[in-house]
Amino acid sequence: MYKLISILLISISFLFVSCGDDDKDNIYSEYDGIYEITEGEVSFHDEKYFKLKSSDLYTSNGKIDFLGFTSCSSSSESSCDDGIYSNYSISGDHPGYRQIQSSGVDCLINTTYGDIEKDGEDGSVILTYTHKKGRFQATKCDFDTMDENMDKLTTESIDVIKARLVD
């Protein structure tokens, strides 16, 4: 009975987390569109084009605006993947990707943060993805522990690309 109640509570809690497309008040909606990479490359993407789409994530802590990254094989909307690479989304202080592993008292963390800024008046942007890792001892290894120990993480790499808006 206890396990059934636990499973039910976990299932109900997932109902409170949802994604939305109401981007009119999303801080990233100005970046929606298809882009062509003009400078640089990123380790997670081999195509020359990508799509950025603003969306909202509703959690028990409130709404989080984010900008999703989707791969495209050309400048055409139909060439873009259906899914959003949430691992490489941009959402302010929230990482797009977080991985935590516990090995005894060791806590291993791998995270990626994205940032975006305008580059001129023609709709061009600069995207920066910072990849950080760390290993430290902790009695508990979870996202709260990760947030408390961000200063102990080492920057592994930084991907920077410039891209121009094509659609």
Q: Is residue 91 part of a domain?
A: yes
Domain count along the chain: 1
Q: Is residue 38 part of a domain?
A: yes
Q: Is residue 2 part of a domain?
A: no
Q: Is residue 9 part of a domain?
A: no
Q: Is residue 136 part of a domain?
A: yes
Report pLDDT for 125.
92
Residues of the chain under the 70 pLDDT cut: 1-24, 44, 59-61, 83-89, 91-96
Domain around 29: 17-165
Q: Is residue 88 part of a domain?
A: yes
pLDDT tens sequence across 14-23: 323 334 444 4
Report pLDDT for 4.
29
Report pLDDT for 102.
84
pTM confidence score: 0.70
CB 124 within 8 A of CB 78: no
Q: Is residue 152 part of a domain?
A: yes
Q: Is residue 100 part of a domain?
A: yes
Is the backbone of residue 77 left (phi > 0), alpha (psi -120 to 50) or beta?
alpha
pLDDT tens sequence across 28-37: 888 899 999 9
Give the separation between CA 17 and CA 61, rounded to whole angstroms: 10
